[in-house]
Chains A and B, each alone.
Chain A
Amino acid sequence: TQLLEQSPQFLSIQEGENLTVYCNSSSVFSSLQWYRQEPGEGPVLLVTVVTGGEVKKLKRLTFQFGDARKDSSLHITAAQPGDTGLYLCAGDSGYALNFGKGTSLLVTP
């Protein structure tokens, strides 16, 4: 099983701050996906990155795929309370997605 390590595990910030969360692995992935999950609900896809070095922006969220396709980062600018949730990265293992343990983000007003 290809392991994905996410850091930090927990993050509590105030509204307006910037933050970056990381997803690292020793394995190379053909694609990597980021999901956000709210309590009691299933994860929802935010973005898929495929090409090494790729950068994708989704409003205030910026996703980057490492050049070697082993790691990824998610940067949030000017965080808002609505950004609160569990952020999960997942790598294509060839037959399913392997998920990291997630970063639990709390944004307080």
Chain B
Amino acid sequence: SQTIHQWPATLVQPVGSPLSLECTVEGTSNPNLYWYRQAAGRGLQLLFYSVGIGQISSEVPQNLSASRPQDRQFILSSKKLLLSDSGFYLCAWSAGQTGNTIYFGEGSWLTVV
């Protein structure tokens, strides 16, 4: 069966520090991968999606970046965090065809202080 894991689960970082959130998917190959952000327990904002290794599309211009060094690995990064980067970050995957079910990871709480 397929599983998705992301870490760390909770992170408190000072303004201006770097960020790295990691996500891995097991039990499937060539998945579509996504990073969403959710503020204050409300709607999900799509940040990045990837249809293959090294292929990253950004939905919202900001100081975050994403990379996909391996087929089932998706990394969200920042060189310098802002207070506004605080939120609940969710990694997700789908089987590759649009409209398929999206499966979410456990989420990572980021607080920038």
Pairwise interchain contact A42-B106, C-beta atoms closer than 8 A: yes
Pairwise interchain contact A42-B43, C-beta atoms closer than 8 A: no
Instruction: Say yes or no for B29: interface residue by CB 8 A criterion.
Output: no
Binding site for B on A (CB under 8 A): 30-31, 33, 39-45, 48, 50, 86, 88, 90, 92-102, 104
Assess A48 versus B101: contact at CB under 8 Å? Given A43-B44, A101-B42. yes
Chain B residue numbers with a CB within 8 Å of A102 are 42-43
Pairwise interchain contact B42-A98, C-beta atoms closer than 8 A: no
- Chain B: residues with Cβ within 8 Å of the partner, total of 26
**Which of A30, A42, A100 contacts B104, CB < 8 Å?**
A42
SS class of chain A's interface: helix, strand, loop or mixed?
loop
Pairwise interchain contact B41-A104, C-beta atoms closer than 8 A: yes
Nearest CB in chain B to that of A43: its residue: B104
Q: What is the 8 Å Cβ interface bit string for chain B, positions 28-64, against chain A (1 contact, 0 not)?
A: 0000101010000111111001010000010100000
